[in-house]
């Protein structure tokens, strides 16, 4: 059994990815006993849905869901894992300077892991939910 990743190790892997780094995602908090992580993403002009609305496009939200779910399982398994599939449900239009994705592992099996992801805006409104299935093989 490998050791769980620390918050610093997670951030290091996040930063090493050009895409995640461009998105500015940070691992803001981890709860190792609950297999849970919090990943935050700041708004960028490039992520706006329609000009001047301040509304997030769904694409970056789906990306945040994918990454947060991935790193909840990565923390538990001790290294990054490939996404197999995931579902995104948009619940409300999302606005504001940043979004916070809380991801927690529902099951870390031998072949795959299943993770739930809730995305809140800065007012605490639930704007989207995700559910992802990731490979349990690190690499």
State the minimum distance, in angstroms, from the CB of residue 59 to a second copy: 3
Of the candidates 94, 99, 118, the residue with the CA atom closest to the CA atom of residue 36:
118
Q: How far is the CB of 134 from a second copy (least distance, A)?
A: 10
In angstroms, rounded to a whole number, what is the distance separating the alpha carbons of residues 134 and 112? 6
CB of 119 to a second copy, least distance (A): 11
Q: What is the 3-state secondary structure (H, E, C) of 35-98?
A: CEEEEEEECCHHHECCCCCCEECHHHHHHHHHHHHHHHHHHHHCCCCCEEEEEEEECCCCECCE
- The contact set with a second copy (CB under 8 A) reads 16-20, 22-23, 45-51, 57-60, 62-64, 66-67, 82-92, 106-107, 109, 111-112, 114, 116, 126, 129, 131, 133, 135, 137
Report in angstroms how near the CB of residue 44 gets to a second copy at its nearest.
Answer: 9
* Between 45 and 124, CB nearer to a second copy: 45
Decide if 65 contacts 86 (C-beta within 8 A): yes
Closer by beta carbon to a second copy, 7 or else 136 = 136
Residue 15 or 29: the one with the smaller Cβ distance to a second copy is: 15
């Amino acid at each position: 059994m490998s050791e769980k990743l620390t918050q610093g190790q997670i951030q290091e892997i996040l930063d090493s990815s050009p895409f995640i780094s461009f998105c500015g995602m940070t691992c803001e908090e981890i709860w190792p006993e609950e297999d849970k992580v919090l990943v935050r993403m700041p708004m960028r002009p490039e992520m706006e849905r329609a000009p001047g609305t301040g509304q997030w496009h769904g694409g970056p939200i789906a990306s945040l869901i994918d990454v947060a779910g991935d790193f909840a399982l990565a923390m538990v398994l001790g290294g990054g894992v490939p996404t197999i599939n995931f579902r995104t449900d948009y619940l409300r239009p999302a606005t504001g300077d940043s979004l916070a994705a809380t991801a927690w592992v529902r099951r870390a099996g031998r072949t795959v892991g299943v993770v739930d992801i809730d995305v809140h805006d800065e007012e605490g409104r639930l704007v989207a939910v995700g559910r992802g299935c990731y490979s349990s093989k690190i690499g």
